[in-house]
Amino acid sequence: MTQQAQATEFFGRTYGEAMTLLVEARDYLAYREPIERQALLPPVRLRMSCETMRLTARLTQIMGWLLSQRAVYEGELTPEGALDGQGELAAIEVCMDEDMAGTAALPQRLRQLLDRSRRLFIRVARLDELARRQI
C-alpha cells in the first residue's frame, strides 16, 4: 500500500470516528443529558454543564481541523492555506484537561463521551503538529 493510500485510509477512519462521536454526543446532549441532569445535585449539575461544554469544544475543534484537511486533500486549499493564520488547535488547554477525578459523579455515558473525545482530540493535535512541521 502506498504512503498516500495509507494516509487517505487513516484520515478516512479518523474522520469517520469523529463523525460517529459527533452524532453520539448530539444524541446524548439532546435526549439523555436533560433527563440525567434532573437527578443530580446542583454542584454536580454545574460540573456537568462545564464538561458538556468541554465535549462540545473538543468536537468543534476536531471537526474544523478535519474539514480543513479534507479541503486540502480535495485540492480546495493548499496545506499552507489550511494552517495559515491559525495557531495550534484553539482552546487546547481546555480540551486537553484530564481532571477525570472531578467527573466521577457524572453519568457514565457522559464520562465515556468525554474520554473518547479527549483521546481523539489528542490524536488530531498530534496530526496538527505533524502537518505544521511539514510546511
87-104 pLDDT tens trace: 566 556 667 777 766 789
Look over the chain and give the mean of its residue pLDDT values, rounded to a whole number: 86
Q: How far apart are CA 57 and CA 33, in angstroms?
A: 17
Write out the residue range of the structural domain in which residue 80 sits: 3-134
In contact, 129 and 66? CB cutoff 8 Å: no
Average pLDDT over residues 54-66: 92
Q: How many domains does the chain have?
A: 1
CATH number for position 110: 1.10.8.930
Q: How far apart are CA 34 and CA 102, in angstroms?
A: 20
The x, y and z cell numbers of residue 44, run together, are 454536580
**Position of cell 483521546?**
119
Q: How far apart are CA 53 and CA 56, in angstroms?
A: 5
Residue 3 has pLDDT above 60, yes or no: no
37 versus 69: the higher-pLDDT residue is: 37
Residue 13 has pLDDT above 80, yes or no: yes
Q: How far apart are CA 83 and CA 67, in angstroms?
A: 12
Per DSSP, the three-state class of 17 is helix
> Which pLDDT score, from 0 to 100, does residue 101 have?
67
Residue 5 has pLDDT above 60, yes or no: no
> Which pLDDT score, from 0 to 100, does residue 83 have?
74
> Which pLDDT score, from 0 to 100, does residue 127 have?
87
